[in-house]
Amino acid sequence: MGSVKANSIKSENISVFRVAIALCLSLYFHNVFLYVLIALFLLSFDFKETVIYLMLLAVSLLVSHYLADFMNIGIIDFRNNNYYIVDKLFYKVALYTDEELGCGQIISCCGYSKTAELSFLKKNIIFTGNEYVRHDIFLPRLFVERQIKKLDEIQGNAVSRIMYNRYIDDETLHFNIGYGLYSYYFLNMLRKRSIPLCIASIILISLFFNFEVKFILLILECLFHNQDKEKILAYKLIFICILNFNLFYNYSILLPLLFSFIGLFKTRYDFRIYLLLIESLCFKEIDLFETLLFKFLMKVKIFFYLFSILLVFMPFLGKIYIFLLNIYSFINQISFPIRGSISLISIILFLLIERSFRLDRYTQMALICLLILSPFNLPLTNLCFIDVGQGDSSLISFPFTGEYVLIDTGSSFNYHKLRKTLFSKGIYEIDYLIISHDDEDHNGNIENLSKDFRIKEIIEEGRDLYIHNTRFKFLKLGDFDNDNDNSLVYLVEIDGYKFLFTGDLSKKVENRIYERYGPLKIDFLKVSHHGSYTGTSPYLIGNILPEYAIISTNGKYNHPSVETIDTLDSYLVRYFITKYSGNIEICFSRVLDFIKIGHNDFVIINKK
């Protein structure tokens, strides 16, 4: 009898989990035909599953459609550069305004834009402009802010960094504590000991400091603690789908879900093996030292997290606090970073080698590190137009020789995007950094790059370059009275394809390319000035007849202009825009050449 009951429960769990996975797939691909196929698939198991799936799908789509009007009340956390962080009930947003708002100010946001800068926040809607209404002051947050201001500068900066992840330009202390992971880790430890204590702690932290969506995942764990792991994970997935599917792109949500999913399986791999893989895939860099001591260091971070809360209410502990942080700061500078994104080929190799030789946990970790550094992850010569928001940056890679040329850097505001791409390719050294001209959206990251990479040579005055049998031909067009028209123009030929980089040239200067160098027959054109109407001369396009064009912009200033798009369309030029496509990568091999767009799409290039 007991066995029959257990099997019944297991069947019910699998049913809920299947519905959750079906809902996730439906919202990811967002295709009506797929909705029908999934409904029919679930119908083959149980009619109830199909009904539940359709109801959940309808609710998710409705919430998504009316998301702008959903829970629009927010609480100001703090100001960072030129925007405010707004802590809403279920997620954080960014608010642009020149008005002075106080921490704890309650506002209702009236307008939003999903295409604004700050996309790196990955926290849902990004509110912009002055489209908000002020209501009142939220006293717990205001009290904490006032208490932090009473601390001296070093103490206040440290508490702000730990509790709110506020980054200060001149950091006296060197540590990488961010409130996300360890706050969740701490609360999860409380949950395992006392569910009421965990819920009470979540409420207090949310009232006085901030509320994170991942706290809801913990609340679900508390509410359904009597259920098995599979069913709890299913409830989490369903809840996120209904609340906002885009939250799955937020690492602070995705990582706890991934670890919950891993926890469903009994494997012989150590937890740190999964941690290495996730860090490499998500963050493009691992710290071997921190991974080896993960549990110990997490407890240390939790200690400082709790100490920071205590300091807010007991400022007289400030000297002890800074003394201990200085010790941790010194220890934390010990690191063993390994850059690179592990590929599917490397993961398969790891599984085959590990199964054949039954490696111990430390040998497994060493093998993963070697595979991350392996050229198997990036075996092809490629040119990547990096999505750096409103700016330009292009990377030419010759992986097996380890040679790299970077043309422009984007703005300092979007350095995180550039850094992530370079880290994903395992780059430590840049052979040549070519700066097309002196605009912040082209040269804004020279200093940042110098901190993270060794740059052999910076090219700011045009000249020909030769690297790995590839010629970077400088096209001299003359001297002009503005920076845009003085942009360095380069013609690069890789594997028989010609690439033209035009910086921010105006139409008048673009025309000189043909007048001085004749019909070049370009295959790929980096469209000038982010697709502005000031560039992309019909005269030039008609004479070089590019097959493809790349426009690097996030849509700011109405880029690309209608005039530019009409010009490209009239000459049947296929164009890609980084705003929609993300990184645009052209890969070359002896057998097949292709364009990789974002994460999922490929365009095959016909060999000539």
Please report which confidence band the pLDDT of residue 5 belongs to, taking 50, 70 and 90 as the band edges.
very low
Per-residue model confidence (pLDDT) at position 4: 40
> Is a pLDDT exceeding 70 seen at residue 17?
yes
For residue 442, what pLDDT band results from cuts at 50, 70 and 90?
very high
Three-state SS for 92?
A: strand
Are 418 and 430 contacting, i.e. CB atoms less than 8 angstroms apart? no
Backbone φ and ψ of 577, nearest 5°: -120, 125
What residues form DSSP beta bridges with 512?
A: none
- Say what the pTM is: 0.80
CA dihedral (103, 106, 111, 112) positive or negative: positive
- DSSP per-residue letters across 363-374: HHHHHHHHHHHS
- For residue 35, the tally of other CB atoms under 10 A from its CB is 19
Give the C-alpha separation, 261 to 252, whole Å. 15
What pLDDT, on a 0 to 100 scale, did the predictor assign at position 71?
Answer: 64
pLDDT at 116: 47
> How large is the average pLDDT for residues 483-500?
92
Kindly state the average pLDDT of the residues 58-72. Answer: 78
Q: How confident is the model at residue 6 (pLDDT cuts 50, 70, 90)?
A: very low
Tell me the average pLDDT of the chain.
85
Q: Does position 11 have pLDDT exceeding 80, yes or no?
A: no
By the 8 A CB rule, do 284 and 340 touch?
A: yes
Quick: pLDDT tens for 132-171: 888 888 889 889 988 998 998 889 888 888 887 776 554 4
Cite the beta strand spans of 423-541 per DSSP E: 429-434, 454-459, 465-467, 470-475, 489-494, 497-501, 524-526
pLDDT of residue 401: 76
Percent of the chain with pLDDT over 90: 38
pLDDT band at 109 (very low <50, low <70, confident <90, very high): confident
Closest CA to 26 of 254, 255, 250, 248: 248
Can you name the residues that pair with 403 across neighbouring β-strands?
398
**Do β-strands 92-96 and 105-109 pair in parallel, antiparallel, or remain unpaired?**
unpaired
Q: What is the mean pLDDT of residues 277-297?
A: 87
User: Residue 340 has which token pair?
Assistant: 């690179």
Q: How far apart are CA 190 and CA 450, in angstroms?
A: 43
Say how far apart CA 73 and CA 135 lie, in whole Å: 9
Contact of 501 with 456, CB cutoff 8 Å: no
Predicted confidence (pLDDT) at residue 320 exceeds the cutoff of 90: yes
Q: Tokens 């307008």 label which residue?
A: 111
Quick check: 222 pLDDT over 90? yes
**Averaged pLDDT for residues 420-445:** 92
The per-residue pLDDT for range 18-53, each reduced to its tens digit, is 999 999 999 988 888 999 999 999 988 888 889 999
Give the contacts of 329 (CB within 8 A, at least 6 positions apart): 173, 174, 175
**pLDDT tens across 171-181, in order?**
444 445 455 67
Backbone angles phi, psi at 537, to 5 degrees: -70, 130
Question: DSSP readout, 179-222?
Answer: HHHHHHHHHHHHHHH-HHHHHHHHHHHHHHT---HHHHHHHHHH
| Cβ contact 559:534 at 8 Å | no
